[in-house]
Structure 1
Amino acid sequence: MPIFDKELPDLEAYKPEREEQPDFDSFWTATLDEARQHPVDARFEPVDALLSTVDVADVTYRGFGGDEIRGWFVTPHGADGPLPCVVEYIGYGGGRGLPHQWLLHASAGRAHFVMDTRGQRGGDTPDRDPYPTTPSYPGFMTMGVESPETYYYRRLMTDAVRAIDAARTHPLVDPAKIVVTGGSQGGGLALAAGGLASDVVGVISDVPFLTHYRRAVDVADDGPYPEIKWYLRDRRGRVEETFKTLSYFDGVNFAARCAGSGLISVGLLDNVCPPSTVYAAYHHYAGPKELRVWEYNKHEGGANYQQAEALRFLKDLLG
């Protein structure tokens, strides 16, 4: 497909003003304080995944509202720690799947905590909604968007921070060496977790979703962002109110609070997470940062090549 977003020189200079509410930090402090009223209660149950080079545990911990969230914890077989830990978040519509899908980081000698995604297809974690919401467009982008307090991603981003809390309780994990990672939705959650849990040492965010919403809704013609556009077609008077809610969940604002070393990737032909939205997050990223640009790729980004970049980044960062 042809280039549909800004030209590369314009992207390299693109640092838009952030849409951030004055109570952004107090909103998130109160949200996380409320979640931490519930003990994280992380439980790691060993499972036989028919794998000989890694050990696998089925994880349950308490996320937003004390809800039970699931995950996998994968470590090199027989490891005695302490190990750096990679906490990973999943793309839109996905779930944690099966243990043999998550061999990369344990194969490199690190602990790997994979968070399931509440309520999304393929996940083992229910959304547990008696959380009250009004009608929304099918999908998750407008679920509860009437206010920051009711928005779906308040729950999911809180789950993401609590996953870090849960990982740190395991005796094999070095609590000072936590890196968060993910692609697409998972990349957006990594930025959120990196900004909210400022003591993580690294953030790997591939083709991140959930960033620079207003630009994304204007430009993206595939994927979940159009859900917001379609929702607003029938709610003509709610445009500014909707984008105000979304600003509390914008990866650009979280990036501005990330202190750990960052590795971000972008596909210049990506019509799901347009390049300008990724560059906006990258340019506002507060910590040391690197960008990997995949000139002729869409939302798949660098795929296996980007995984190799991540392994090199982690080796340099963690040893």
Structure 2
Amino acid sequence: MANEKLEDLLAYRGSSPKPDDFDAYWARALDELNRQPLTYELVPASFQTPLAACYHLYFTGVGGARVHGKCVKPLRNNGQGPGLALFHGYHGGSGDWFDKVAYAAHGITVLALDCRGQGGLSEDMLTAKGTTLKGHIIRGIDEENPDKLYYRNVFLDLVQTVRILKAMDGVDPDKIGVHGCSQGGALTMACAALEPSVKLAVPVYPFLTDYKKAWEMGATTSAYEEIAYYFRFMDPLHNRQEEVFRKLGYIDIQHLADRIRAKVVFVTGLADPICPPLTQFASYNKIRAEKELVAYPEHGHEYLPYLSDRVLQEMLKL
């Protein structure tokens, strides 16, 4: 994939439509979450280290799903330290304990969420019409009620994760960061938008943004493949194309980006063949909070040198 010029990326404002009732949709969703008890269970993990206490954390999310995350607390903590919520890539899970212990060794409490029905232990209780074969973007798209979209509940889990983290002993609720790559990058932005108490967001090449543009650009063989799959098998004449992209607008992070109040360190690879940079900049360009762009011209959807170092440094500044 040839790199687009940075000046063109920085001028792009997105093309996927925003539903007219977008704000009311998320106000209603957050109202449902606000009625959810902020209770959780900590179960000691078999993995432990001299520097941190490691737990499996469970809470009940909207719709009654049992949601899981990995919680790592510093053992050497003088007073209240920062808290970091971590969000994983598409289809994956919360990962190993090792990277979380590295944060805890610096006095940072970590809570890494497993997205519902993906590669971790969280349940997906959603019952919705339509195909269940290809992926989560299109899950619920055939329902008349957009409250049935899969990512609505996941986005609410993000907020609940941060609220739990803020309430933990040893965590300063005014020093909360969020971070993730790909799907995790999108969830980082959605979390910071829907939970304004977040102080730092480090999204990395975010997914779930500007769906129509991703489809138009031919991003049909990887992250966004399920959109092309949906049209090919469920709507081959594209009779519902306008409706589909309008509904996807409810879970498009570019439409949430202007709500973010946290400092944003936005990281991207300008040669990304998986999540086209143009779609990512649809979200970046709508952030109105303090923001910094960290661009890797020759890198794509892959390991980015020095990224983990930068995240730790930013967290220690909180």
User: What is the TM-score of this pair, normalised by structure 2?
Assistant: 0.92
Name the stretch that deviates more: 183-192 or 233-242.
233-242
Residues 203, 262 of structure 1: 8 Å contact kept: yes
Amino acid at match of 1:226: E
| Number of aligned residue pairs | 312
Higher relative contact order (CA 8 A, sep 6+): 2
- Compute the RMSD of aligned alpha carbons: 1.8
Q: Which residue of 2 aligns with 1:151?
A: 149
Q: CA deviation at 1:293?
A: 0.5
Q: Distance in 2 between matches of 1:8 and 1:15?
A: 14
2:134 counterpart of 1:138: yes
Q: Percent identity?
A: 31
Q: Which residue of 2 aligns with 1:100?
A: 98
- The equivalent position to 2:213 in structure 1, one of 200, 204, 215, is 215
Q: Which residue of 2 aligns with 1:296?
A: 298
3-state SS, counterpart of residue 251 of structure 2: coil
Q: Alpha carbons of 1:136 and 1:72: their partners in 2 closer, same or farther (altered >3 Å)? A: closer
Q: Distance in 2 between matches of 1:152 and 1:313?
A: 31
Amino acid at match of 2:316: K
Q: Distance in 2 between matches of 1:207 and 1:137?
A: 25
Which stretches in structure 2 are left out of the alignment for 5+ residues? none
- The equivalent position to 1:167 in structure 2, one of 150, 154, 165, is 165
Q: Alpha carbons of 1:16 and 1:50: their partners in 2 closer, same or farther (altered >3 Å)? A: closer
- The equivalent position to 2:122 in structure 1, one of 125, 128, 148, is 125
Residues 15, 212 of structure 2: 8 Å contact kept: no
Q: Which residue of 1 aligns with 2:43?
A: 45
CA deviations over 1:198-224 (Å, ceiling 9, x no partner): 121111100111111111122224422
Q: Which residue of 2 aligns with 1:31?
A: 29
Q: Distance in 2 between matches of 1:267 and 1:243?
A: 26
Name the stretch that deviates more: 282-291 or 51-60.
51-60
Q: Distance in 1 between matches of 2:120 and 2:207?
A: 19
Q: Distance in 1 between matches of 2:99 and 2:291?
A: 28
Q: Distance in 2 between matches of 1:221 and 1:268?
A: 19
Q: Which residue of 2 aligns with 1:263?
A: 265
Q: CA deviation at 1:15?
A: 2.8
Q: Distance in 1 between matches of 2:77 and 2:307?
A: 27
Q: Distance in 2 between matches of 1:51 and 1:70?
A: 21
Q: Distance in 2 between matches of 1:218 and 1:240?
A: 13
Residues 62, 162 of structure 1: 8 Å contact kept: no
Q: Which residue of 2 aligns with 1:225?
A: 224
2:249 counterpart of 1:247: yes
Which stretches in structure 1 are left out of the alignment for 5+ residues? none
User: What is the TM-score of this pair, normalised by structure 1?
Assistant: 0.92
Q: Distance in 2 between matches of 1:261 and 1:23?
A: 27
Amino acid at match of 2:231: L
3-state SS, counterpart of residue 128 of structure 2: coil
Q: Distance in 2 between matches of 1:50 and 1:314?
A: 23
CA deviations over 1:66-90 (Å, ceiling 9, x no partner): 3221111112223253111011111
Q: Distance in 2 between matches of 1:244 and 1:301?
A: 33
Q: Which residue of 2 aligns with 1:312?
A: 313
Name the stretch that deviates more: 305-314 or 107-116.
305-314
3-state SS, counterpart of residue 310 of structure 2: helix
Amino acid at match of 2:307: Q
- The equivalent position to 1:15 in structure 2, one of 13, 16, 31, is 13
Q: Which residue of 2 aligns with 1:89?
A: 87
Q: Which residue of 2 aligns with 1:200?
A: 198
Residues 192, 198 of structure 2: 8 Å contact kept: yes
Q: Distance in 2 between matches of 1:89 and 1:289?
A: 20
CA deviations over 1:101-140 (Å, ceiling 9, x no partner): 42332233211111111101x31112123x2322244221
